[in-house]
Structure 1
């Protein structure tokens, strides 16, 4: 996928992979900005329920307006594969930080926890349950 252009998005690098998809950094050539593209895994085992859950995830996330929640720009399909276009967040994951430097200072951990709690509160107010909170999914 690296170097491939899908719609107006030129894929630059793979950022990560999880149970609900693969995430790439891409350049939006129309708006001259970086975005993240999250693709539903391209597999013969993906059924209609999983595709619908992927779309529902995008719709639910798009309803949340909070500075600690990634903005959803669009959802598209390419070669029968759905993908979410979202804000690219520059930074490191909590897992990367702890892996490189060890545990963070207690005041820093409390600051992260407060921000995560506020983001989760915003999600819960919209009826959204995250279901995949882990250090790899938290950017700082």
Structure 2
């Protein structure tokens, strides 16, 4: 695994979506030395607590897992916060893993409505991870 800092993967506006599963499985977050770490910058006033790597927004199906609690951790802009390391590590995979989309969300409402965003991630071993940014 490279010691190069995380690459910036882009930003997305927070959106509402529905998910059939309203519970999340606990997931241990202990990155290994060869892991690609996904970091989260949160520029919203929401708190993000769950993630999914198999959620389908068309059907609302997918499995959710807990991520480290991430309240707003940036007030300037995504680029500056990334460069300054103002982000929360939330997920890791082996750096040789296949590409995936990670969905980040708030706790669901009783009706399954969530707020969050999905980001494509293509792990590789040239950097130690990637940073995503959710904006209002």
When the two structures are superposed, what TM-score results if normalisation uses the length of structure 2? 0.29
Return the structure number with greater strand share: 2
Return the structure number with greater helix share: 1
Higher RCO (CA < 8 A, seq sep 6+): 2
Instruction: Return the index of the structure with the highest Cα Rg.
Output: 1
